[in-house]
Amino acid sequence: MRTLLLALSFAAGGAFLLVPATRSHAQICADDYSTVDRITGGTILGIVPAPEPFVSTDIYFTGPTNCTPLWMQVLKADAAHCRVGDKIDATGIVTSDGDTNSWNINPSTSDILYMRLGQDYFCTRQTGQS
């Protein structure tokens, strides 16, 4: 009996390893839906700094197909590391704003107001870009 149980355990473990891995996070957007999500491989379409004395900048970027594009509010100092055309990976709470028909991504922790470079998002340039 013990041998049969051990053999079944190995068989189940082997079957688990043979099944192709699926993505560990979903990139799904639907009206009136919010979720902590990771947006990978988006492209920055625009960077819009707020007028002085405000410290924020809005970054406009592509996200999952059914909720593109998204807006993200960041600090001006963090936005200075990003350029239009950069690839962006962001993790936060994706929400829909029905009044403006736009999507936003906000920090997943409630103690900060802005998305933070290196904590909530990363900007990367492809080689050959300035």
Dump pLDDT digits (tens) for 21-64. Answer: 444 444 455 554 566 788 888 999 999 999 999 999 999 999 87
Average pLDDT over residues 11-19: 49
Position 11 in a domain: no
In this structure, the number of other CB atoms found within 10 A of the CB of residue 111 comes to 5
Domain presence at residue 24: no
Residue 60 inside a domain? The answer is yes
Q: Is 90 exposed, middle or buried (0-12, 13-18, 19+ CB in 10 A)?
A: buried
Q: Domain of residue 67: give its range.
A: 31-122
Domain assignment present for 4: no
Q: How many residues does the chain have?
A: 130
> Does any domain span residue 91?
yes
Contact 90, 108 (CB under 8 A): no
Residue 114 resides in a domain: yes
CATH of the domain at 95: 2.40.50
In a domain, 7, yes or no: no
How many structural domains is the chain composed of? 1
